[in-house]
């Protein structure tokens, strides 16, 4: 075993001890991970969850709130000094200010601590005073979980798999053409390495825009402050044998290993390994709107992402976790306010089917899982409209483009999600029926009654599943 992973284990060991000491003697901490692919709704989810935990008028499904046992909720400085704070106030101001708008895209890890003062329930109620439970919420891009698959791979394996995939995709033509003039055994030349990395990154960006979800290494698309650094300046080359000293291939191998040890490993060690509860957000409606290949691709990316929650599978992660594990995972289809509630069961069935394999396995590993459809911020109202003699369940809201009010019926979702996934899997390019329209609504100005958080759909059920048992 390499020294750095021994050190990781020691750090984890000390941390586990101090975590459990502080939990026994002091105040319990729940670390809640919030993840999902880009634009799945992470920022809006966390903002609305926190606002609705601070003002609990709309949280009847959270049992401790319903029973009036939460005496106070307040934001506190977070425990990790090197992680950016989740910018709750700015995001809330965007959503609920006088000219409401969706928050900007966020492309890195951030964290927020919310503390709840809770009176105990049941037999203990009369014996114990209130105690404080800290909820540390960690927002991180789901794409970063895809990198777990790199940890057990050599550069040669990774390059071979990646190139095999690229050869099936028109989006990769330019990169493959550039590659054909490259001799991996030639002397390493930095401008050439940079040009290759740029070409490969450009492919990843086009592929993502085209709806593919398997665009790794994750940090190539979300570089943050690593942009331009050598750990992100590598690309897959056609490898035929061992690399020579000083060659382009040798340098690519070295950078791939650096990416693993200096980018992927710290993320899993410092963030992922410490999570107790996890919510995975999925923009299933968006994928359905884009078509069968986007749905199939999302299904595959979800299966890869969820592999990370099944530590048995990855020896490297197993060592890092030291037996610790996430014990509850919620899979949530977001933006359910795009649908009339009559269509919510169909959406729930789809998210259940999309994550079924992974959920079965997580259950096997001892984690409890649940799937539901939610809207962190409800920006529509429901109405039934008659169209050509048929009653259509619609939603009404302000259109993001043009700012006009409109009522909208997106089309029928199949009652049997197998139909949808089957078509996607078999490579259909379009849905059989009219397809499924998507519409983007803007947040509407709102007046909240004192004690009420922003309007939502089933955020209270999500909170009950994720933290209710610990309050
Ligand atoms: N109608 C509706 N739209 C939502 C909701 N949540 C998110 N959206 C839409 O989805 C977009 C993305 O939401 P974010 O919360 O920024 O998603 P994210 O996962 O943080 O995105 P990145 O930071 O770019 O990875 C928003 O700009 C909205 O258009 C919701 O509850 N209802
Ligand atoms: Mg975000």
Predicted confidence (pLDDT) at residue 393 exceeds the cutoff of 50: yes
Residue 160 Cα to ligand 1 midpoint, Å, equals: 35
This prediction has a pTM of 0.88
What is the distance in A from the centroid of ligand 1 to the CA of 39? 5
Whether 164 has a pLDDT exceeding 70, the answer reads yes
pLDDT, tens digit, 9 for 90 and up, residues 395-433 = 999 988 888 898 988 888 877 777 778 877 777 777 766
Judged against a pLDDT cut of 70, whether residue 313 lies above it is answered with: no
Give residue 433's pLDDT. 64
CA-375 nearest atom, ligand 1? 31
**pLDDT of amino acid 18:** 45
Nearest-CA residue for atom 28 of ligand 1: 102
Q: Indicate if ligand 1 lies below 6 Å from the C-beta of 101.
A: no
Which ligand 1 atom minimizes the distance to the CA of 456? 31
**Cα–Cα dist 17/84, whole Å:** 25
For residue 104, which ligand has an atom nearest its CA? 1
Alpha carbon of 418 to ligand 2 centroid (Å): 30
Q: Which residue has the higher pLDDT, 460 or 150?
A: 460
User: What's the confidence (pLDDT) of residue 260?
Assistant: 95
- For ligand 2, the distance from its centroid to the CA atom of residue 195, given in whole angstroms, is 30
Asked whether the predicted pLDDT for residue 144 surpasses 80, the reply is: yes
Q: What would you measure as the largest C-alpha separation in the chain, in angstroms?
A: 77
How much is the mean pLDDT over the chain?
87
User: Does ligand 1 lie within 6 Å of residue 76's CB atom?
Assistant: no
Averaged over 11-30, what is the pLDDT?
A: 58
Considering Cα of 257, then 261, then 262, then 263, what sign does the dihedral take? positive
332 lines ligand 1 (CB under 6 A): no
At residue 20 the predicted structure's pLDDT band, cuts being 50, 70 and 90, is: very low
Q: What is the pLDDT of residue 312?
A: 65
Most confident of 118-127, 195-204, 422-431: 195-204
Q: What is the rounded average pLDDT of the residues 185-205? A: 95
Higher pLDDT, 91 or 420: 91
C-alpha of residue 37 to centroid of ligand 2, in Å? 10
Cβ of 336 less than 6 Å from ligand 1: no
Distance 436 CA to ligand 1 centre (A): 19
Residue nearest to atom 30 of ligand 1 (CA): 335
* Confidence at residue 21, expressed as pLDDT on a 0 to 100 scale: 45
The CB of 46 under 6 Å from ligand 1? The reply is no
Q: What is the mean pLDDT of residues 83-107?
A: 93
What mean pLDDT do residues 145-159 have?
89
């Amino acid at each position: 075993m390499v020294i750095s992973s021994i050190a990781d284990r020691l750090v984890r060991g000390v941390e586990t001890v101090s975590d459990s000491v502080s939990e026994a003697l002091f105040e319990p901490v729940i670390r809640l991970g919030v993840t999902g692919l880009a634009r799945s709704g992470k920022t809006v989810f966390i903002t609305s969850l926190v606002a609705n935990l601070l003002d609990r008028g709309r949280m009847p499904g959270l049992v401790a709130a319903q029973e009036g046992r939460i005496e106070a909720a307040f934001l506190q400085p977070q425990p990790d000094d090197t992680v950016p704070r989740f910018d709750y106030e700015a995001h809330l101001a965007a959503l609920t200010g006088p000219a409401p708008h969706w928050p900007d895209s966020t492309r890195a890890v951030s964290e927020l601590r919310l503390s709840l003062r809770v009176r105990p329930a049941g037999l203990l109620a009369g014996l114990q005073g209130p105690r404080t439970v800290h909820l540390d919420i960690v927002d991180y891009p789901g794409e970063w979980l895809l990198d777990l698959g790199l940890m057990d791979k050599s550069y040669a394996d990774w390059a071979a798999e990646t190139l095999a995939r690229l050869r099936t995709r028109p989006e990769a033509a330019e990169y493959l053409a550039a590659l054909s003039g490259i001799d991996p055994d030639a002397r390493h030349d930095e401008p050439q390495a940079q040009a290759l990395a740029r070409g490969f990154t450009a492919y990843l960006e086009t592929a993502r825009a085209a709806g593919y979800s398997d665009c790794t290494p994750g940090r190539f698309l979300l570089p943050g402050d690593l942009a331009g650094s050598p750990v992100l300046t590598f690309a897959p080359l056609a490898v035929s044998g061992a690399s020579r000293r000083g060659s382009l291939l040798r340098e690519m191998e070295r950078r791939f290993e650096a990416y693993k040890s200096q980018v992927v490993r710290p993320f899993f060690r410092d963030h992922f390994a410490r999570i107790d509860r996890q919510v995975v957000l999925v923009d299933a409606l968006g994928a359905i709107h884009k078509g069968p290949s986007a749905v199939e691709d999302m299904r595959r990316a979800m299966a890869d992402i969820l592999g990370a929650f099944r530590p048995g599978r990855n020896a490297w992660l197993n060592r890092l976790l030291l037996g610790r594990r996430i014990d509850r995972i919620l899979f949530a289809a977001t933006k359910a306010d795009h649908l009339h509630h009559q269509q919510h069961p169909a959406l729930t069935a789809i998210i259940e089917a999309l994550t079924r394999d992974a959920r079965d396995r997580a259950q096997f590993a001892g984690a409890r899982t649940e799937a539901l459809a939610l809207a962190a911020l409800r920006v529509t109202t429901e109405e039934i409209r008659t169209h050509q003699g048929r009653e259509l369940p619609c939603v009404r809201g302000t259109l993001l483009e043009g700012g006009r009010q409109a009522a909208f019926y997106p089309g029928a979702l199949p009652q049997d999600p197998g139909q949808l996934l089957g078509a996607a899997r078999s490579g259909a390019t379009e849905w059989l029926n009219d397809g499924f329209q998507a519409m983007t609504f803007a947040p509407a100005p709102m007046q909240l009654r004192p004690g009420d958080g922003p309007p939502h759909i089933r955020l209270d059920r999500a909170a009950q599943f994720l933290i209710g048992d610990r309050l």
